[in-house]
Chains A and B, each alone.
Chain A
């Protein structure tokens, strides 16, 4: 039981990661691919935050009478990664908008056909 509780987080992280990866590989719609990438990204955030958690620890804000804190370093890394993630997602969405404007579709197969049917 202890082993299950101790590793449950990591298993769910791996499931999320694989669902994200599968979405990116198997779906042809570009928006769907970006959402898949985002799921993958969130799973990495969870991996970091899970590694930083400490049993019985408090949030890393120094206070009187608190002895155990969770690890602040993953929080810093992930905090910035989330904001950078949305900025890069916006960049990807902008590229999708441009693709839609010049090809008229956001389905990968149709774009491929348009490119090779001339």
Chain B
């Protein structure tokens, strides 16, 4: 019962944080709230019995990605105050709101057919998951089933993921790793002013 209470509270916090992120116009505050959002999700993953995922989310979401976003903010801030403020919106976005509400209602209607949270006889639990839990220990000798599936049963998948991470690092190096060219420093606004 206590699990359910923590689950409900943390999920409510998450929803509130996400709406705060949406409404906040200061980018610095937004990034900080996103760090809180990630930490809350890490706590939730522990409640849902996924310690490996919680580990990763805590280190990645609350640590690395917040630092990366702050580093980017320092690079893209405005030349004068307010440094981190979003530009005021020129119009109310009614169409996106309609799209989002309609999509959301359709999805919520769809949840009526999903087996309830934690149902042991749900289709997701009865096929390959059973096999992994029963056979991971005798076949690989590794008690942590997540590690066994990650590295052994789904080895190809993980190889692909590692390659993606490597490729992303290479791409970031190619994009902003080199020296800044002189021309790039001169922004298009300045060019326009020069022409005028």
Contact = CB atoms under 8 A, between A and B. Distances in A.
Contact present between A and B (CB < 8 A): yes
B2 interface: no
B80 interface: no
A72 B38 contact: no
Interface residues of A, number: 91
Contact of A80 (B65, B118, B150): B150
Contacts of A59: 49-52
A112 to B, nearest CB: 12
A103 B186 CA distance: 9
B88 to A, nearest CB: 10
Contacts of A20: 18
B6 interface: no
Question: Secondary structure at chain B's binding surface: helix, strand, loop or mixed?
Answer: helix
Interface string B79-121: 0000000110110010011011101100110011011111110
Contacts of A70: 48-50
A16 B15 contact: yes
A104 B190 contact: yes
Contact of A68 (B48, B120, B187): B120
Contacts of A84: 161, 164-165, 168
A46 B44 contact: yes
Contacts of A19: 15, 18-19, 21-22
Contacts of A68: 120
A54 to B, nearest CB: 5
Nearest to B103: A18
B41 A25 contact: no
A51 B100 contact: no
Interface in A45-76: 45-46, 49-63, 68-76
Contact of A90 (B76, B99, B172, B180): B172
A80 B50 CA distance: 13
B76 A55 contact: no
A52 B50 contact: yes
> When A and B form their complex, which 3 residue pairs have the shortest distance between CB atoms, in order from nearest?
A6-B116, A104-B187, A55-B118
Interface of A: 2-3, 5-12, 14-23, 25-29, 31-32, 34-36, 38-39, 42, 45-46, 49-63, 68-76, 78-80, 82-91, 93-98, 100-107, 109-110, 114, 117-118
21 contacts: A6-B115, A6-B117, A7-B116, A8-B8, A16-B14, A16-B18, A21-B100, A26-B96, A29-B27, A31-B69, A35-B30, A35-B69, A42-B37, A45-B53, A53-B48, A72-B132, A83-B165, A86-B65, A96-B76, A102-B187, A118-B192
